């Protein structure tokens, strides 16, 4: 699959593909993992612009306070919750 996005978005999306099914990360953890520790908001924006959901699993990224955050895929936040529950994530 040839992805189209900014250099930063592509870096975020590439990392998202490494999050195992049934696991979650926070936007901050993703920012740290891609060596951009002050970019949690930018990570959230990259997730929001992800046109490849759920194939690129932005649904596995939540806010640091435990809230779900948003979901760019079809069905919005309800679909994010459904996907996480289908992966046995305790939310």
Active site residues: 58
Which residues fall within 8 angstroms of residue 35, CB to CB, at 6 or more apart? none
C-alpha angle 84/88/91, rounded to 5°?
A: 55
Contact status, residue 49 vs residue 29, Cβ threshold 8 Å = no
Contact status, residue 20 vs residue 7, Cβ threshold 8 Å = no
The residues that bridge with 61 in the sheet, in sequence order, are 25
């Amino acid at each position: 699959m040839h992805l189209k996005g900014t250099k930063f978005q592509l870096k975020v999306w590439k990392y998202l593909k490494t999050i195992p099914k049934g696991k979650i990360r926070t936007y901050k953890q993703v920012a740290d993992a891609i060596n951009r520790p002050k970019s949690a908001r930018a990570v959230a924006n990259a997730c929001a612009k992800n046109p490849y959901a759920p194939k690129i699993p932005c649904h596995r990224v939540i806010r640091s306070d435990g809230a779900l955050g948003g979901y760019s895929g079809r069905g919005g936040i309800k679909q994010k919750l459904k996907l996480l529950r289908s992966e046995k994530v305790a939310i």
